[in-house]
Structures are given as C-alpha cells and as structure tokens.
Amino acid sequence: MVDSLIQVFADVLEIDPAVLNDDSSPDNVQEWDSLSAMKLVAAIEEKFNVRLSTREIMKMSTIGRARKALQNKNVPV
Amino acid sequence: MTGITIVILTGILALSCAARFIRLIILRQLLLLSISYWAYAHWAGIPFLLLLIASSLVNYFWGSVLRRRPTTALLWVGIGLNVFLLGFFKYVPAMIAEWPEAASAGFLGDIILPLGISFWTFQGISYLCDLYREEELDPSLLEFCLYMAFWPTVASGPVARLPKMLPQFRQTSTAVGDDFSVGAVRIVQGIFMKFVLAHLLNVGLSPGGGVSAGFDDVAPARSGLDVWALAIGYGFQIFFDFAGYTNIVVGAARLIGIQLPENFNRPYLSTTPSIFWTRWHMSLSFWIRDYVFMPLVTLRRNVWWPYAGLIISMVIFGFWHGAKLTFAAWGLYHGILLVGHRVGQRLKRRIPIDLPHPLGVFMSWAGTFLLVSLGYIFFRANDLGQVSRMLRAVISPRSYAFTHATLPQDYYLLLSLMAGGYFAYVGLVDLLGLWTTRYRENLRRSEQPMFPQGLSRFPSLNGAILWIDGLLAARKWWLLTPVLVLLLMVTSLSFLNQNSNIAPFIYTLF
C-alpha cells in the first residue's frame, strides 16, 4: 500500500508511485522540476492541512526530507 | 594564453595529482589549498587573493553563527554581505561607465573585477543557505577555504556545492586508472573544443569571416539569413568555448581525484526551453533554481506567482553575466520562453493535437533550437540598438533574399561544417553506443571472449571495433599519454609563435 506522501508526489508529478522513495529528488526524478515543486507544496499543504514556511520548503530537497518536515509539524506520515 | 602559462598550468596540475597520493588528509588539503592560493595570486594578484581569503573567512564565521541560530534575518545578512561584495566590484564600475557625469566618482570607475568573484561568492551564498536548511555540514576552516579557492573552479566554475565536495576533500578516490583515463580524455576533448572549434568560429576561415566580425564590424545592415547565421554561430561558439573549458577543468579535477558537477548535457538536443535549462550551464542554472527561484516562489501561493518567479529569476540570471541591459533582456527573453512553454503545455492538455511522434519531437526540437539561438542576439549584441536592428531583419520577409546576405560565404561554410559536424558526431556516438551494447549482449549470450581471435563467428571489423571499445573502457592510466603529447605540441607552438593570442575563456569575462 503506497503511503500518502508518496501518493501526493505521484499524483502531482503524474508518475507511478512505485518509482518513488524517500531518496527521490529533482536530481533523479525528471518530472520534479521547479514549477512542479510549487504544485507539490500546494498539494502537500492541502492534503495534510499544514502551512509550510519558506525554510521548511527549502529543506524539502528529497521526499525523505519532506516527510521529516511534516513529522516535525506532528503530521503522521 | 602563452607557452609559459601552459607550462605553469601543467606544473600546478602535476603537483595537484601528486597530492592525491598523500595519505595524511590534512596535509593533502593543505597542499591543494597552497597550490590554489598560489595559482590565484599568480593569475589575479595578491590584493584579490586577500579578498578571496577575507570572503572565505567571513562566510565561514557567519556560517558558524547561522549553524547555531538558523534564522532568516541572519541568513539575509550573510547573503547581503556576499551580494554587496559582488555588486561593488561587478556592477558599480559598469553603472559609473553608463553615466559620464559620474567621472567625479574617482576610483569607483577604476575598479577591476576580481577573477572568479561571480562564482566564489555564489559558492559562499550556497554554503550559508545550506546551513539555513540544516544540511549536515561541518567543514574545517581549511576545507572551507579549499572549497572557495579550489583552483580548477575558482576562475569560472562549475559552481560546486559543499555537500558534494566535502566528502571528496576528506577521502580521495582510489580509482586512479579510471580517474586518469577519464580525466585525460576530457582534457583532450576540452582543448579541441575550446582552442580549435570555438576559436575558428570566433575568427573565421578568412579575415572578417567569423562571429566576432559579424557582430562587431560596421557593416551594411545584416540580412535575416545573416542574423540567424550569426545567432546560431555564436551559440556554437559559446558552447564549444564554455563546454570546452568545462571539459578541461572537470578533467583536471578528475586527475586530482575530485569529481566536479557537470555544466553541459547536449543542450542543443533539447526539445523544450525547460529541458534546455536542465542541460545548459547546469551548475549555475540549478543554483538559480535552488537559491533564487524556490525561495522566491514560496512567498506567495497565487497560481500566477511561479510564472512571475521564473521571469524574475531569469532576469537575475541575465544580470549575473554583467550590468548590461542586453544581458537583462536575454534573461527576460528566456523567462518568457519558459513561461510560454508552461502555458503551452496546459493548453495542449485541453486541446490535444495529434501528430506522429517523430514529427512532434522534430518540431519541438527545431522550435527550441531556433528560439534559443535567437536569444543569443541579446546576449552577444553590443547594445540594444543592435539587438533591435537584428531582430527587425529576422521578422522582415524581404531581408531574406540571398542577394542581401552580407557575411562572407566561407562563414556560412564554416557554420554548416560546425553545426552539421556536431550533430553528426553526437548521432555517431549514440549509434556506436547502441551497437556495442547490442553486440556485447550477443557476445555474452554466445559466451565468446571479447578478443578478435575469439570472434570467429563474427566479421573481423566488428571484432576490431569491439576491441578498441574494450580498450577505451578499460580505463588505463596511460591514456594520459595523448594529453601530454598534445600539451607538448601546443606549448612548443606557443613558444615558437610568441604572437599567438588564444582568446580567453568567454566566461572569465563574467
């Protein structure tokens, strides 16, 4: 079963969630470019009902780091 | 570049290669830093070396403050210090020059741009931003100074990131054979691209027959064809020049045991403007994405704001090259291209247009290549007036008559050879790669050894090609030999012809 955070990434980037993992980043996922990064932020904020600061967004360079940022905000992912 | 310079560079490289065999890490780092500082002082002078050292110390100290308290205010102060330094040396003299009445500004108009300041200030900024993002970075002062002053990159990049460089400073690669052969091949490629291809395009086959003369000579109004030829020609000139420089620098660093980030990945095969910016000057393009665009677009959540952020980021990218309106216009042009591409993608989803795939790919490639080439008019033109004249020629159907062409015929011949040769080379490399992969697979299945005498069932030509391919893939250190031979030839020619004047890297101007 795909976890909810990976599913958000898969839906926004329109790719198979099976190719994503916590090490996925703009460096190894072609669809994850600068504009889709902001769509990801909007989707994460809507899905998990959080508001991310500039610093938190800048820290989200991989899915794993995005997960950690959400966990720091007490979001169970 | 004189023969003496080549000898000095070779000596620096040889000493740096020797450093990789020193087991004591701190001693190795100290030697590399000493070489880097000596090289910088030799190229740029002691005062600018002191400036580089001061910038390194300030960034390192501010980084330690930021590590303890990663606040936005402290980050902005750190960024501000770097931007002030860059702005003072890069933009103040240019702005003074624009206003003659500021002649009373005195020394401000005489400021010289320190070598590589555009690159090492950006490395300093990226260090502070990475600490703000709580990246796990703990360089020693020695390691940080080496990162800022590393001699292969200090002049014109690639813009390196400390998270990738630090592990390599702490542990040199043990794949000596691989490093030497790959590094050697890259250096040879770079020398050929920069000193032969780029130089030829710049000066042409005959006097007045190159890109430089095309843009700088006072000539009758250029025809539409001339403008396209100059735009495409400059595009290839700057590519061969800068990609050639990058090959030399990346190759030299590889000999030392350090892998630098790449700057180019076949940019002229891009099929969209967005893809182009993931393949052209990649180290700087990704820097702008990570440290300018991303923080900018997080400020608002409006749907249109990312597009505005793209344009602002590209204008900043343009200004980074210099305080000229033509550079800003070039950045703005590419920002509009990027936004146009995104808007076009959204429209395409709503109004699907069915084209045969190969035709669709070709049209995307052709459109991207032509639009990117046209952008070089902004980049290379001497002023906005020249940009305007050239663009008017492009959009005027009457200017395309062959009788209106003002460039020499041998320029068109040179351009055709260069552009055609480049695409043919890329195609051949890919075909060869595909062919050898398939034949290796066939050999593997047939359990034949990879030597000519074992390929009795295969034509001897296949066997010979596979043997050569295997030799090159074997990564032997003695592949350094062509580099040494080439260096010897170029150095000898430079000493014999003291008037030789090889153009500096275009990007040292920035």
Instruction: Using CA coordinates, name the residue in chain A closest to B296.
Output: A54
Instruction: Using CA coordinates, name the residue in chain A closest to B134.
Output: A59
Among the ranges given (B11-15, B375-379, B393-397, B446-450), the one the predictor scored with the smallest mean pLDDT: B446-450
Q: What is the pLDDT of residue A66?
A: 92
Report yes or no: B129 at the A interface, CB cutoff 8 Å. yes
Measured between CB atoms, which of A42, A53, A57 is closest to B294?
Answer: A57
- Tell me whether residue B27 is in a domain: no
- Hey, are the CB atoms on B70 and A59 less than 8 Å from each other? no
Say whether pLDDT at B457 is over 70.
Answer: no
- Tell me whether residue B117 is in a domain: yes
DSSP B91: T
More confident residue, B164 or A26: B164
Say whether pLDDT at B26 is over 70.
Answer: yes
Report yes or no: B189 at the A interface, CB cutoff 8 Å. no
pLDDT digits 0-9 by tens, B262-314: 999 999 999 999 999 999 999 999 999 999 998 888 888 888 898 999 999 99
- Measured between alpha carbons, how far is B287 from B122 in angstroms, rounded to an integer? 8
- Tell me whether residue B451 is in a domain: no
Q: What is the pLDDT of residue B379?
A: 93
Q: What is the mean pLDDT of chain B?
A: 85
- State what percent of residues in chain B have pLDDT above 70: 83
Q: Rounded to 5 degrees, what angle do the CA atoms B14, B20, B26 make?
A: 120
- Hey, are the CB atoms on B310 and A35 less than 8 Å from each other? yes
pLDDT digits 0-9 by tens, B187-201: 989 999 999 999 999
CB atoms within 10 A of CB B492: 12
Residue B324 pLDDT grade (very low, low, confident, very high; cuts 50, 70, 90): confident
- Measured between alpha carbons, how far is B62 from B442 in angstroms, rounded to an integer? 59
pLDDT digits 0-9 by tens, B119-142: 999 999 999 999 998 888 899 999
Among candidate residues B149, B171, B193, the one where a domain is terminated: B171
Q: Taking CB atoms and an 8 Å cutoff, what residues of chain A touch B299?
A: 54
Report yes or no: B72 at the A interface, CB cutoff 8 Å. yes
Instruction: Using CA coordinates, name the residue in chain B closest to A57.
Output: B298
Per the structure, the count of domains in chain B is: 2
Say whether pLDDT at B500 is over 80.
Answer: no
Say whether pLDDT at B499 is over 50.
Answer: no
Among candidate residues B118, B139, B171, the one where a domain is terminated: B171
> Do B163 and B277 fall into the same domain?
no
Q: What is the pLDDT of residue B136?
A: 86
> Do B380 and B298 fall into the same domain?
yes
Q: What is the pLDDT of residue B486?
A: 67
Report yes or no: B297 at the A interface, CB cutoff 8 Å. yes
> Do B200 and B345 fall into the same domain?
yes
Count how many Cα atoms sit within 13 Å of the Cα of residue B150 in the half-sphere of its side chain.
33
Residue B102 pLDDT grade (very low, low, confident, very high; cuts 50, 70, 90): low
Counted residue by residue, chain A has a size of: 77
B272: containing domain: 179-412
> Do B248 and B155 fall into the same domain?
no
Per the structure, the count of domains in chain A is: 1
More confident residue, B448 or B162: B162
- Measured between alpha carbons, how far is B503 from B356 in angstroms, rounded to an integer? 45
Q: What is the pLDDT of residue B472?
A: 59
More confident residue, A60 or B472: A60
Q: What is the pLDDT of residue B39?
A: 94
- Tell me whether residue A77 is in a domain: no
Report yes or no: B278 at the A interface, CB cutoff 8 Å. yes
Mean pLDDT on B328-357: 88
Measured between CB atoms, which of A34, A42, A57 is closest to B289?
Answer: A34
Report yes or no: B134 at the A interface, CB cutoff 8 Å. yes
> Do B315 and B384 fall into the same domain?
yes
Q: Taking CB atoms and an 8 Å cutoff, what residues of chain B touch A34?
A: 289, 293-294, 297, 306, 310
> Do B346 and B285 fall into the same domain?
yes
- Tell me whether residue B261 is in a domain: yes
Contact criterion met (CB below 8 Å) for B180 and B253:
no
- Tell me whether residue B118 is in a domain: yes
Work out the minimum CA distance from A55 to partner chain B, whole angstroms. Answer: 6
- The pTM of the full predicted model, rounded to 2 decimals, is 0.87
Report yes or no: B317 at the A interface, CB cutoff 8 Å. no
pLDDT digits 0-9 by tens, B10-24: 889 999 999 999 999
| 3-class DSSP assignment, residue B301 | coil
> Do B123 and B212 fall into the same domain?
no
Number of CB pairs < 8 Å for A and B?
41
Among the ranges given (A37-41, B224-228, B453-457), the one the predictor scored with the smallest mean pLDDT: B453-457
Q: If DSSP states are collapsed to H, E and C, what string results for B35-82?
A: HHHHHHHHHHCHHHHHHHHHHHHHHHHHHHHHHHCCCHHHHHHHHHHH
- Tell me whether residue A9 is in a domain: yes
pLDDT digits 0-9 by tens, B385-420: 999 999 999 998 888 876 677 888 899 999 999 999
> Do B307 and B347 fall into the same domain?
yes
- Measured between alpha carbons, how far is B387 from B380 in angstroms, rounded to an integer? 9
- Tell me whether residue A47 is in a domain: yes
Say whether pLDDT at B458 is over 60.
Answer: no
pLDDT digits 0-9 by tens, B29-87: 999 999 999 999 999 999 999 999 999 999 999 999 999 998 999 999 999 999 999 98
Report yes or no: B70 at the A interface, CB cutoff 8 Å. yes
- Tell me whether residue B25 is in a domain: no
- Tell me whether residue A57 is in a domain: yes
> Do B126 and B167 fall into the same domain?
yes
Q: How far apart are the first and last CA of chain A?
A: 13
- State what percent of residues in chain B have pLDDT above 90: 55
A28: containing domain: 4-72
**Which token pair is A54?**
């500039």
Among candidate residues B412, B438, B457, the one where a domain is terminated: B412
More confident residue, B447 or A51: A51
- Tell me whether residue B417 is in a domain: no
Q: What is the pLDDT of residue B170?
A: 95
> Do B83 and B224 fall into the same domain?
no
Measured between CB atoms, which of A26, A42, A58 is closest to B301?
Answer: A42
> Do B218 and B107 fall into the same domain?
no
Instruction: Using CA coordinates, name the residue in chain B closest to A60.
Output: B133
Instruction: Using CA coordinates, name the residue in chain B closest to A42.
Output: B301
Q: What is the pLDDT of residue A6?
A: 94
Mean pLDDT on B343-367: 85
Contact criterion met (CB below 8 Å) for B479 and B185:
yes
Q: What is the pLDDT of residue B432?
A: 81
**Residue where the block lists tokens 């020394």:** B107
> Do B134 and B215 fall into the same domain?
no
Q: What is the pLDDT of residue B462?
A: 65
Q: What is the pLDDT of residue B491?
A: 62
pLDDT digits 0-9 by tens, A15-64: 999 999 999 988 888 888 877 888 899 899 999 999 998 888 888 889 99
Report yes or no: B345 at the A interface, CB cutoff 8 Å. no
Say whether pLDDT at B498 is over 60.
Answer: no
CATH assignment at residue A49 = 1.10.1200.10
Q: Which residues of A touch B (CB under 8 A)?
A: 26, 33-35, 37-38, 41-42, 52-55, 57-59, 61
Instruction: Using CA coordinates, name the residue in chain B closest to A45.
Output: B301
Report yes or no: B301 at the A interface, CB cutoff 8 Å. yes
Work out the minimum CA distance from B336 to partner chain A, whole angstroms. Answer: 14
Work out the minimum CA distance from B453 to partner chain A, whole angstroms. Answer: 42
- Hey, are the CB atoms on A38 and B299 less than 8 Å from each other? no
- Tell me whether residue A43 is in a domain: yes
Work out the minimum CA distance from A1 to partner chain B, whole angstroms. Answer: 30
Residue B454 pLDDT grade (very low, low, confident, very high; cuts 50, 70, 90): very low
pLDDT digits 0-9 by tens, B228-248: 999 999 999 999 999 999 999
